[in-house]
Chains A and B, each alone.
Chain A
């Protein structure tokens, strides 16, 4: 009885409680589906761990982007351009690193670790600038974020595709270590990046003026302005942060496979990122959002994909399940609010 009342109050008052419960249930389900048909606990555990590492690694890039998307949505905005920004910053990474005749850094005689570090810095700055460009257009031009990022989505990809036409840069093998370095048998670098960034952004959202200002701007822009919050600056910084996070995802992607398909990479990524944020309790109306919730949301979607895979559900049907999860999650949160 005591447990039931505890559970009920938690369910009602803790916004992330239901999301966490849903995640735990899916993990238990997944564990059972994987089965226990192994010789020893050791081999079962290894297989279970490997499965999880795969899930996490495959979703690290989009998971990082979803974190930035959470902040963007919390200000009452949206960023449809993340997929195209990913392609643009990814292409730039490859141009800088190219070991062939056109590679910028190799032309300047830079190779190895200094070249890698310089590349990362330049690409992060590029991501920042692309995001800031979107932010400036939204704030100074007073154009709705949906429109600006829709336009940027088309522009960034199209320009990238044009310049990368018939050009196939070769990324040095050593660069791939950034994502592919192994700890023993485990390739977990992307997971580490994701976890570190999630922690930093969690801290930012909870403990910094910037984090609180994001909520203020998204919840009541007028009141925030009249309280001395520099609304435009907050928005600009949110989109710039989004750009930086996308460029990190781009570096991870390039260093995982050494190449990128500029016409298809990142397509639909904005929707996946929005879905993760929404499943995690972020309100599309702005003001309400949870960094941790977005991590849960990303994991729920990822585990579900894994489950559908294990169950052998046909690929075309899997998207439908994703859709159901998104709507279901919001319905669940709605219930909490009114009861």
Chain B
């Protein structure tokens, strides 16, 4: 099937989101749709998915004009849209999820569970998915949920599948699993539109790319004819750095030392230390326990044994409140679930940590607060309208900066950043890197948790790699490269002599 969108124009009020964009996709190819947040990718795909209607322009399938008024029209035409927030019901088994909204019924009108199970099994067999359809969706990791969604799309005989940032919350291993699935779909002559911010993934899995900027198509071509740098330039409109940001510096006193830290089976016997001004990367695959480890240091997860020394003093941290008082800050992963509070406005989100510091007998001193925030807004370059706007009105990158602002207001000595650039576009990502480098210059000890090896390599002075809850190895300088990180993350051992022992 060949789907063509011609001269699509769409505005919301005075906001011209799409200005005459033409786009096409055919069966058997994977096309990357790239662009910063707000470039018009989602709008274009929502038009193709029947969620919005274009102001002008046409859509055709196999040269035949089609019109979408509701999402069901688009599905009817063989287009499946897998949204970033997956539409799966956690408390139902996989096979019932496969038939959500189009359940099979038997003669008496009750659910034909056996039939649904059987069909799901045969679909899994066809797609080579090794998964028991009777399992609950809540037991699946993010990649298998993605795969279940893909299989569901296949069951509706979709010939075009739109995938909106399918890998944004996946580890590298999970991502590989989804890619394998995508390649299989390609062989089945299905066309895939792949929306992603991760350019190396685009190069790995896609055939073609299309770049939108400010509502116009600015570049397209074959993936094997470009490199990431070029793509990044198309996306933001100027050259993007890819060089390492690491530099020589004099490290200060030891800020944090962790000694024999363990928590049941999540992580075991963790020992490391960080000095002022140092940036330490911590990475690993899913189930490495790094998030839990640092949440435990921050007092949000209980530990079974171990000691923490801050500035050389033994401290006991049992709650997040204590951790903040001790000068620890933790920027959590999954901003939407853990970072922002949508019923509070921008400035309130940026100040929640320091409310108690800026208040007298529980009454908040609003003026003091605004002054502090205003200073931060300038130094973090947060783009926004009014202090009292909704936090959700900001782009992902600016939301993340607001979350960062709330921690910086507390003047931490130790800053833990868990996936700081998750769901953030290329430009904002570099902004955040700059901020991190600047903070390190101000003698803050910084820990960056990330699943992106490139991020660690560009940013950090040294990297700690975890595997199943233990520190598998620590690498720095020349040795800090993707190969060594992956090796350690999958349980290999790295030695100075360069020998690899598995």
Residues of A within 8 A of B (CB): 207-210, 212-213, 215-216, 218-220, 222-230, 287-288
- Distance to closest chain A CB from B92 (angstroms): 22
Find the A residue at minimum CB distance from B406. A227
Residues of B within 8 Å of A219, CB to CB, are 341-344
Known: A216-B352, A219-B343, A230-B319. A207 touches B364 (CB 8 A): yes
Do B362 and A220 touch across chains, with their CB atoms under 8 A apart? no
Do A223 and B338 touch across chains, with their CB atoms under 8 A apart? yes
Do A226 and B341 touch across chains, with their CB atoms under 8 A apart? no
The answer for the CA separation of A224 and B341 in the assembled complex, in Å, is 8
Do B356 and A209 touch across chains, with their CB atoms under 8 A apart? yes
Q: Is B321 an interface residue (CB 8 A)?
A: yes
The answer for the CA separation of A207 and B363 in the assembled complex, in Å, is 6
The answer for the CA separation of A222 and B348 in the assembled complex, in Å, is 16
Known: A207-B364, A226-B338. A212 touches B355 (CB 8 A): yes
The answer for the CA separation of A214 and B138 in the assembled complex, in Å, is 30
- Distance to closest chain A CB from B358 (angstroms): 9
Residues of B within 8 Å of A288, CB to CB, are 343
User: Could you list 26 examples of A-B contacts with CB < 8 Å?
Assistant: A207-B364, A207-B366, A208-B359, A208-B362, A209-B355, A212-B348, A212-B364, A213-B355, A215-B343, A215-B344, A219-B341, A219-B344, A220-B340, A220-B343, A223-B338, A223-B340, A226-B320, A226-B330, A227-B341, A227-B352, A227-B353, A228-B353, A229-B320, A229-B321, A287-B341, A288-B343
Find the A residue at minimum CB distance from B351. A212
9 further interface pairs, Cβ-Cβ under 8 Å (given A208-B362, A225-B300, A226-B332):
A210-B362, A215-B344, A216-B341, A218-B343, A224-B341, A226-B300, A227-B353, A228-B321, A287-B341
Q: Is B337 an interface residue (CB 8 A)?
A: yes
Considering only CB atoms and an 8 Å cut-off, how many residues of chain B contact the other chain? 28
Residues of B within 8 Å of A216, CB to CB, are 341, 343-344, 352
The answer for the CA separation of A209 and B362 in the assembled complex, in Å, is 5
Q: 8 Å CB contacts to A: which residues of B291-338?
A: 298, 300, 319-321, 323-324, 330, 332, 337-338
Residues of B within 8 Å of A213, CB to CB, are 355
Find the B residue at minimum CB distance from A215. B343
Q: Is B27 an interface residue (CB 8 A)?
A: no
- Distance to closest chain B CB from A283 (angstroms): 8
Q: 8 Å CB contacts to A: which residues of B347-380?
A: 348, 352-353, 355-356, 359, 362-364, 366
- Distance to closest chain B CB from A214 (angstroms): 10
Do A220 and B355 touch across chains, with their CB atoms under 8 A apart? no
The answer for the CA separation of A50 and B115 in the assembled complex, in Å, is 71
The answer for the CA separation of A13 and B478 in the assembled complex, in Å, is 56
Q: Is B71 an interface residue (CB 8 A)?
A: no
The answer for the CA separation of A226 and B294 in the assembled complex, in Å, is 12
Q: Rank and list the top 10 A-B pairs by shortest CB-CB distance, nearest first.
A: A219-B343, A287-B343, A228-B324, A209-B355, A208-B362, A220-B341, A227-B352, A228-B320, A219-B341, A228-B321
Residues of B within 8 Å of A287, CB to CB, are 341-343
The answer for the CA separation of A138 and B79 in the assembled complex, in Å, is 47
Residues of B within 8 Å of A212, CB to CB, are 344, 348, 352, 355, 364
Task: Find the residue from A208, A209, A229, A288 having the highest chain B CB count within 10 A.
Answer: A209
The answer for the CA separation of A156 and B337 in the assembled complex, in Å, is 38
Do B364 and A209 touch across chains, with their CB atoms under 8 A apart? yes
Residues of B within 8 Å of A230, CB to CB, are 319, 321
Q: Residues 28-53 of chain B: 1 if any A CB is under 8 Å from the residue's CB, otherwise 0?
A: 00000000000000000000000000
Find the B residue at minimum CB distance from A210. B362
The answer for the CA separation of A227 and B341 in the assembled complex, in Å, is 10
Residues of B within 8 Å of A228, CB to CB, are 320-321, 323-324, 352-353
The answer for the CA separation of A186 and B48 in the assembled complex, in Å, is 68
The answer for the CA separation of A209 and B369 in the assembled complex, in Å, is 12
- Distance to closest chain A CB from B231 (angstroms): 33
The answer for the CA separation of A222 and B352 in the assembled complex, in Å, is 13
The answer for the CA separation of A225 and B298 in the assembled complex, in Å, is 11
Find the A residue at minimum CB distance from B352. A227
Q: 8 Å CB contacts to A: which residues of B260-317?
A: 298, 300
The answer for the CA separation of A208 and B356 in the assembled complex, in Å, is 9
The answer for the CA separation of A226 and B363 in the assembled complex, in Å, is 22
Q: Is B339 an interface residue (CB 8 A)?
A: yes
Do B359 and A215 touch across chains, with their CB atoms under 8 A apart? no
Find the A residue at minimum CB distance from B407. A227
Task: Find the residue from A212, A224, A227, A229 having the highest chain B CB count within 10 A.
Answer: A227
Task: Find the residue from A207, A222, A223, A224 having the highest chain B CB count within 10 A.
Answer: A223
Find the B residue at minimum CB distance from A216. B341
Find the B residue at minimum CB distance from A286. B343
Residues of B within 8 Å of A220, CB to CB, are 337-338, 340-343
Residues of A within 8 Å of B343, CB to CB, are 215-216, 218-220, 287-288
- Distance to closest chain A CB from B311 (angstroms): 20
The answer for the CA separation of A174 and B406 in the assembled complex, in Å, is 54
The answer for the CA separation of A46 and B244 in the assembled complex, in Å, is 81
The answer for the CA separation of A224 and B348 in the assembled complex, in Å, is 12
Residues of B within 8 Å of A222, CB to CB, are 337-338
The answer for the CA separation of A229 and B356 in the assembled complex, in Å, is 10
- Distance to closest chain B CB from A254 (angstroms): 31
The answer for the CA separation of A279 and B348 in the assembled complex, in Å, is 26
